[in-house]
């Protein structure tokens, strides 16, 4: 089986290149090999490879920048995923695509179901929602996986920023009233491999159903909870930590260009029902990331 991964230079794409290896030949392309800002070139790339599975981990993820660059974000997050879905349908290939908690406005009390009304607050969320709809409109076999608060031991992300700031400052102030599930790229990739394996079996048995699924780590946290877990875990591992105090502030006091939902908690019930997957608590992913970083040369 031939599996095409786009966005191989990103957090999730890098992990996918590892987790999908047992399933077949993995062709992992970064933006130079599969450029989602050029939909026609992307179409030609897929046709030259003819994969049986496409996993699209590429996206325009600069949430605040997208407020002034929505047209480009729309090409990468909506038009190109639509092209991938069209080509997947033509090939009879399975498409896996990642979306976001930001398709919701965060006004709901409790966890969002896949079927709940969408109402994105920012350009990034609007373009990701447009991508979901473009994929559904193409009509081939697909799974759209909505995830949240993604991080890894590499690249730019919230926990790595906290580690840097904690080594430089004595006091950190972090948003305390936005809630979600911090989800490691490694977990996303490992669960994706499980989904691909089962979905391929369903396709072979002619009982596959395309749908949107929520896929995050278990549990819930505020950004403050996550920051404290990172700082405390780093200190326990002997990593450089100067910060003696990590305190909370309301989101209203932290000025950003793009509004974020206050509630990004996603229900995982459908994931458990269809795929028998119950992801581990988010703290396990943070611990694994810190173990990896603490073991790196020069970490202490």
Give the pLDDT of residue 25: 97
Q: Residue 247 is inside which H or E element, if any?
A: strand 245-249
Q: Rounded distance, CA 277 to CA 242, Å?
A: 39
Give the pLDDT of residue 255: 86
Give the pLDDT of residue 148: 97
Give the pLDDT of residue 298: 67
Give the pLDDT of residue 233: 97
Q: Is the pLDDT of residue 297 over 80?
A: no
- For the chain, give the percent of residues with pLDDT over 70: 99
Give the pLDDT of residue 300: 65
Q: Which residues are catalytic?
A: 124
* DSSP-based three-state secondary structure for 244: coil
What are the tens digits of pLDDT across the range 117-165?
A: 999 999 999 999 999 999 999 999 999 999 999 999 998 999 999 999 9
Give the pLDDT of residue 116: 98
Q: Is the pTM of this model over 0.85?
A: yes
Give the pLDDT of residue 296: 83
Q: Is the pLDDT of residue 294 over 70?
A: yes
- Please answer whether residues 96 and 55 qualify as being in contact, where contact means their C-beta atoms are separated by less than 8 angstroms: yes
Give the pLDDT of residue 287: 97
What are the tens digits of pLDDT across the range 61-104?
A: 999 999 999 999 999 999 999 999 999 999 999 999 999 999 99
What are the tens digits of pLDDT across the range 12-48?
A: 999 999 999 999 999 999 999 999 999 999 999 999 9
**DSSP secondary structure string, the chain?**
-EEEEE-TTSHHHHHHHHHTGGGSEEEEE-TTTS-TT-HHHHHHHHHHH--SEEEE------TTGGGT-HHHHHIIIIIHHHHHHHHHHHHT-EEEEEEEGGGS-S-SSSPBPTTSPP--SSHHHHHHHHHHHHHHHH-SSEEEEEE-SEE-SSSS-HHHHHHHHHHH-SEEEEE-S-EE--EEHHHHHHHHHHHHHHHHHHHHTT----EEEE---BS-EEHHHHHHHHHHHHHHTT------EEEEE-GGGS--SS---SB--B--HHHHHHH---PPBHHHHHHHHHHHHHHSTT--
């Amino acid at each position: 089986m031939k599996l095409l991964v786009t966005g191989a230079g990103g957090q999730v794409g890098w992990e996918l290149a590892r987790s999908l290896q047992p399933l077949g030949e993995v062709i992992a392309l970064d933006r130079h090999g599969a450029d989602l800002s050029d939909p026609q070139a992307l179409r030609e790339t897929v046709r030259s490879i003819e994969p049986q599975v496409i996993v699209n981990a590429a996206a325009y993820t600069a949430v605040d920048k997208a407020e002034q660059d929505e047209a480009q974000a729309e090409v990468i997050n909506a038009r190109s995923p639509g092209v991938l879905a069209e080509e997947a349908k033509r090939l009879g290939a399975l498409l896996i695509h990642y979306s976001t908690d930001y398709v919701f406005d965060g006004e709901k009390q409790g966890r969002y179901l896949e079927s709940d009304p969408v109402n994105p607050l920012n350009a990034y969320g609007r373009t990701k929602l447009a991508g979901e709809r473009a994929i559904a409109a193409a009509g081939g076999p697909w799974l759209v996986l909505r995830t949240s608060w993604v991080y890894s031991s590499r690249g730019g992300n919230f926990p790595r920023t906290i580690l840097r700031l904690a080594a430089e400052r004595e006091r950190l102030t972090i948003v305390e009233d936005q809630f979600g599930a911090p989800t490691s790229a490694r977990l996303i990739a490992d669960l994706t491999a499980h989904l691909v394996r089962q979905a391929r079996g369903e396709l072979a048995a002619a009982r596959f159903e395309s749908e949107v699924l929520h896929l995050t780590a278990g549990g819930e946290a505020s950004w403050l909870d996550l920051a404290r877990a990172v700082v405390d875990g780093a200190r326990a591992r002997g990593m450089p930590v100067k910060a003696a105090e990590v305190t909370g502030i309301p989101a209203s006091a932290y000025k950003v260009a793009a509004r974020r939902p206050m509630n990004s908690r996603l229900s995982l019930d459908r994931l458990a029902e269809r795929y028998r997957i119950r992801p581990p608590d988010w703290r396990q992913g943070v611990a694994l990331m810190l173990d990896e970083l603490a073991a790196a040369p020069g970490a202490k």
